[in-house]
Every structure is written in structure tokens, then in C-alpha cells.
Structure 1
Amino acid sequence: MAPRYYTVTWDQLHRDGKALAWRLVERGPWTGMVAITRGGLIPAAIVARELDCRLIETVSVVTYDEEQRGHPQVVKPPQAALESQGEGWLLIDDLVDTGTTAKVVRAMLPKAHFATVYAKPAGKPTVDTFITEVSQDTWILFPWDTEPQFIAPIAKARGNGGGGQ
């Protein structure tokens, strides 16, 4: 089965981030926000602006190191939020996929409200709020992971291009 792709543009990410803020505004006020790096940094900036949140902390969990696959490591804990186990804090990430990162962060901050822009079925139970669900077999292409480039027309790519102008 060929992989599925879901391309997210900067404009779409901004719209979806703002939609996430609309869902979260009534649940506040928030003590602060924890952005899960790296994917949660830009969504957190959008949500922080909309919620007028100035206290932003980060947490870094490494899960995609090929040698340690399956063994997530916290390389930078969210110090300010740890004191209250996350009570009153908002966790923001771009995507919850399998829930591996989410479970690690949840263990550190069990009282925080966890919100993501996108969610896949396997990770959905680990978050409190999300905007868009995508299938588990879909690879999301975020704007910071892609760049615009020329793609040959289908006919030329198949070697039967040509014809008039």
C-alpha cells in the first residue's frame, strides 16, 4: 500500500492553530504553556498569541533516534510547570501520532491540559483537545519539513510528454 500524505501549508497551520485557540480560550486562564519541541513550537506561538499567554516553557523528548527507537528520552524538562504537575498549564504539540511522546510528557505533567493541532487514532486518547484527525497511515508534511520545488507535469514524468503548446 502506497503511503498517504497530508500536506499542511503555512496558511492552513495558522488557521488550524487559531481554531485550536478558540477551543481552548474558555478553558483558561492558563498559568502558562509548554511547547513540545520541535513540532509544537510554531503551533504554541500561534495559540499563545491568541490566548495572550506570555509564559512559555518547552519540553524536549527525543523519540526518533534510530539507535534508541522505542526508548524516549527527556532531554529538556519543563522546569516551571513541574512544580504544579502541570496544573493550570497548557501542553501544545503539532501532532499526536502513536502517543509515545504524549505519554512521557503526561507522566511529568499529569494535571496539564494537552492540546494538539492534529491527531491520529492511536494517540488520540492521550490528548484532551485537538482540531483535525488524520488516519494512522497518513504522513503529515508540515511546512517546516518541506520546501516548494518544481515538479514535472505527469505526462513528462512518464516519458510521453510533448504535443502542442
Structure 2
Amino acid sequence: MAEGSAPEKAFPVSWEELHRTGKALAWRLVDAGPFEGIIAITRGGLVPAAIVARELAIRVVDTVCVTTYGTSGDDKKRGELKIVKPPSLEGDGEGWLIVDDLVDTGVTARAVRALLPKAHFATIYAKPAGRPLVDTFVTEVSQDTWIYFPWDLEQRPVDPIAAMRPRR
């Protein structure tokens, strides 16, 4: 973090919260279907897609594998978008549900929408820049918030928010 810049807003998500919010997403989607299947955006969309698939009794789950973050282990540094594996279905996505954990800047969402323009796009979390690209979401968070999903977390001590702010 650069000197004088605002601290990153952290939004940690527990497994229980992710499951509960994934079910809330399914409740919002139940009347939008029925869907022929789900296309999970990997990696973050895999767990939400599994929850939604169970709740909506969907047995067909495919993936679209997209990378937008660096491959050097730095998952906060954006790199060039690359479709590593397209979905196996043919067509424009009509009758299908795309699921991801989050829409942030919309870079990934735009690329997947270009592949499947008629699919219903759903995420658990949405940031303002990407929000117009999804059809259904549960929770909006500010653009300057970093969401820490359960697979990103370990139990450890953390400083209070006030301790992270530069003293004036």
C-alpha cells in the first residue's frame, strides 16, 4: 500500500456465510428458470455453482475457465484476460445459468457474456462497475472492497481498522 493511500476495505466471508448467501441466490433464481444447466466460472464460481445446482436440482454443470489475475501467485494483480477452457455447450447460452462468486470490474463478465449472450448471469456479490452485467446478485459491495472468500483465509490475529489508518 502506498504511503497516504486509504487502507484496503476487507470483507471476509466464512464458509457458513457463503453457503447461506449461495442459498439466497438460489431463492432469487428459482423463478428465473428452469435452466438446462449451469456454467460455473472457475475458480471462484465453482462453490456457488454447486450450492445453486443442489438447491435448484440442476444436474448438468459445465465450466468456463478464465484467468484475469497474474499467474505468479499474486491474485490481486490483474493480468491479461484469457479463456483457458470455453464451455462445452454450443449456442448462445439460452436456457443456461452462468454462476460466479463475484462481478468486480466486469472484465470476466464481458468475456463470458460474449460467449453466451443469452444465458442468465448470476453472482453472489457485485461491485458497482460490474453490476450492470449480471442479471441476478445478492449483495453489493463498494468497488474499493476486497472480498476474502473462505478459500483465501486462515485463522490469524488481525490489527483493528483504526491501527491500519495513518496517524494525522
- TM-score, reference length from structure 1: 0.87
Question: Structure 1, residues 37-69: CA drift from partner, whole Å, max 9, x if none?
Answer: 000000000000000000000001111127995
> Does 2:48 match 1:39?
no
Which residues of structure 1 form unaligned runs of 5+?
158-165
Q: Which has the higher helix share?
A: 1
Sort the Cα spacing of 1:152 and 1:94 in 2 relative to 1 into closer, same or farther, 3 A.
closer
Give 1:19 deviation, angstroms: 0.3
What is the total number of aligned residue pairs between the two structures? Answer: 152
- TM-score, reference length from structure 2: 0.85
Question: Structure 1, residues 96-116: CA drift from partner, whole Å, max 9, x if none?
Answer: 000000000000000000000
Give 1:147 deviation, angstroms: 1.2
Q: Secondary structure of the residue that 2:80 maps to in structure 1?
A: coil
Aligned pairs for 1:1-165 within 5 A: 1-65=6-70, 69=78, 71-80=80-89, 83-149=90-156, 151=157
Q: Post-superposition, which runs of at least 4 consecutive aligned residues in structure 1 deviate over 4 A?
A: 66-70
Give 1:70 deviation, angstroms: 5.1
Which residues of structure 2 form unaligned runs of 5+?
1-5, 164-168
Deviates more, 1:65-74 or 1:98-107: 65-74
Please give the root-mean-square deviation of Cα atoms over the aligned residues, in Å: 1.9
Q: Secondary structure of the residue that 1:93 maps to in structure 2?
A: strand
Sort the Cα spacing of 1:66 and 1:75 in 2 relative to 1 into closer, same or farther, 3 A.
closer
Give 1:148 deviation, angstroms: 1.4
